[in-house]
Structure formats: C-alpha cells, structure tokens
Amino acid sequence: MRTEKGRCGRCWLEMQAQRKSSILLFSHIFVPALGLVILFGLFACTQKTQSVKPLKIARDVNFSLLSPESFGQSLSLLQSLEINYRGESRQLLAQLEISSNNITLVGLSPLGNRLFTVLWTGESLSEKYLAEWPFPFSPKHILADVQLALWLKIPQQDGFKIREIQSPQMRREILRNEEIVMRISYETRPFWQGEIIIQHLERGYQLSIQTLQSNQLP
C-alpha cells in the first residue's frame, strides 16, 4: 500500500514538473511571438502617407521640408538620440540616410526594435510608428528638427527666420517675431561629426544627437 502511494506521489511530482516545463516553454516561445504580432499590428495601423505641405513646428511657424538633393551629398549616419520631455529621458538609435532621391530616418530601441520609419522623397512623405508613441510630436517632426540642424543652408521661409551665432559656441536660433522658439547648439563642423543639442523652447523638449558612425554613399 505504501509502495502504491509512493508511486502515486512520484507520478504527481513528475506531472507537476512537466507542467512547469510546459509553462516555461510557453512563456519563452509563445509570448515573444505574440509580442511581435502585436508590434506588427501597431505599426500597421499607424502608417501614413501624406501630400507635401508645411509642418507646424511651433505656433504660427510652419516649415517646408527641404529637398533631399539640397543637402549636397549622399550620407549614411548611425546616431544616438536622447529625448528629454517633461522630466523623462528616452534613448534610441537612429539610422539616417540621405541621397539625392530621398531621405530615410529609422528609429530603433536600444534592443534594436523598430520604433518608427519616415521616408521623404521631396514629393511625398510617409511615416510609420508605434500607436503608443510617447511624445506630443510625430517622427516627421524629428526629421524636420534634423534638417534644421544639419543643412548648411536653409532658404528663407514665411513665419520664421534663422539667426546663426559663431562664438563663443556655434548655434542656430529659430525666431518668430524675434522670439526664440528653437535653439540648436553645435560642437564642431561638419555638424554631424559632433554632438548636436536641439532645444524646443515652446514645446518643452530637448533632442540630443550624437553620431556614432558615418559613411559616404555612392
């Protein structure tokens, strides 16, 4: 009788061990796969293709994205971005590719998951990003910030003007009726080789950009 009870006890322990193994296997295989499905679904429902129109970068300030060829060269940049907003800091990686035909900006989490993609051809603008995007501006506004920071020459546009200061520190200011709405500070030239700090005084965020790797494209 004791032997029979012992066998039943061992069987019960083996069943529990198998059950735990099954749960562990489920959590390692199914849950990440489900996460990928959800992530894909979030991307799919937030894809937008827009006609060309100026972007509102501040109150009464609109910025028309500059053509890809106006940059003057073809370049690929791997960059580290840090966004500070309302006391919170978020870090991500960005792959920026500029050619004469288009500009592609891809944002990645520190683990390499894609957070957003922006494609600008000079005629159409498309963006794709997570539905739970945590900032009060969409990724296309990051592209606008990047253009305002990296382009050597920015044509005069209605609603704002640009003031450049060379010393004691190189910086570029975006002015609305002599009021500074954005301040861009540089570490060195060419601009992308050093740290760039973009302060949006009206929207209350700061974007820091550090280039990790740069390559000339054919």
Q: 123 or 50: whose pLDDT is higher?
A: 123
Question: From CA 3, how far away is CA 15, in angstroms rounded?
Answer: 18
Q: CA-to-CA distance for 196 and 155, rounded, in angstroms?
A: 21
Among 2-16, 107-121, 151-165, the minimum mean pLDDT is found in 2-16
Give pTM, 2 decimals: 0.76
Alpha-carbon distances, residue 4 vs 8, 10, 56, 114, 203 (angstroms): 6, 10, 78, 57, 74
**49-63, pLDDT tens digit by residue?**
666 789 999 999 999
pLDDT one-digit tens code per residue, 171-196: 999 999 999 999 999 999 889 899 99
The chain-wide mean pLDDT, for the chain, equals 81
How much of the chain, in percent, has pLDDT values that exceed 90? 60
Higher pLDDT, 212 or 1: 212
Cis amide bond preceding 32, omega within 30: no
pLDDT value at 138 more than 80: yes
Q: Is the pLDDT of residue 35 over 70?
A: no
Q: Are 136 and 20 in contact (CB under 8 A)?
A: no
Please name the residues in contact with 54: beta carbons below 8 A apart, sequence gap of 6 or more.
Answer: 62, 63, 64, 157
Report the C-alpha gap between 190 and 37 in whole angstroms. Answer: 41
Q: Who has greater pLDDT, 21 or 91? A: 91
Residue 82 bridge partners (DSSP): 91, 208
**Distance, CA of 142 to CA of 148 (rounded, Å):** 10
Residue-by-residue DSSP string for 129-188:
E-TT--SSS-HHHHHHHHHHHH-S----BTTBEEEEE-SSS-EEEEEETTEEEEEEEESS
Rounded mean pLDDT, 89-114: 93
User: What percentage of the chain has pLDDT greater than the value 70?
Assistant: 76
Section 9-26 average pLDDT: 38
Per-residue pLDDT band at 46 (split at 50, 70, 90): low
Say whether pLDDT at 8 is over 60. no
CA dihedral defined by 108, 113, 116, 118, rounded to 10 degrees? 70
